[in-house]
Amino acid sequence: MPDTPHQHDDLDVHHLINLLAMLPGPDDVPFWNTVDRNGQGSDQEETQLTGDGYLIGKMEVGIRGLLNPQHSDIAYFCEYLLKFFDGERPLLWQHLSHRVAGSGFTDQAGERWAHDLCDTAWRLTVRYSPHGQRTLAENWPNAANLR
């Protein structure tokens, strides 16, 4: 496997941690329910996360791995971050704007945050994917045999 930076020394990992630190914790149920619904609000008062807590569970496991990188699967967590925050989601961006930037920034802050998070998550997914070299050799067997 090619040399890759250790996660605890990786500037992208530190950047991801700083981005995630801008979000509220799991006790902000209305925030996470809105994220779960891609930015769409609810008319009902919510006291617990909709569904089975899938989103919160994935976030907690991934954040635990970021804070304790010896037991982390950063690529796996980043794939989930991409599922939760990637794509054209104007309602989610609007929701994020109020939480990650506060009132001193433009309404585009949520969109910038989501794009920054997803760009960082994509780089980390590619960097730490455990299958890269093996898959490349399988896809290009003639090149792999020329060593």
What would the pLDDT profile of 51-106 be if each residue is shown by its tens digit? 458 899 999 999 998 988 765 689 999 999 999 999 999 999 988 988 887 666 66
> By the 8 A CB rule, do 86 and 118 touch?
yes
Q: Where are the alpha helices (DSSP H) in 86-140?
A: 90-100, 109-128, 132-139
Joined together, the tokens standing for residue 82 give: 């991409």
Joined together, the tokens standing for residue 136 give: 């490349």
Query: Average per-residue pLDDT in the chain?
Result: 83
Residue 88 has φ and ψ, to the nearest 5°, of -80, 105
pTM listed for this prediction: 0.81
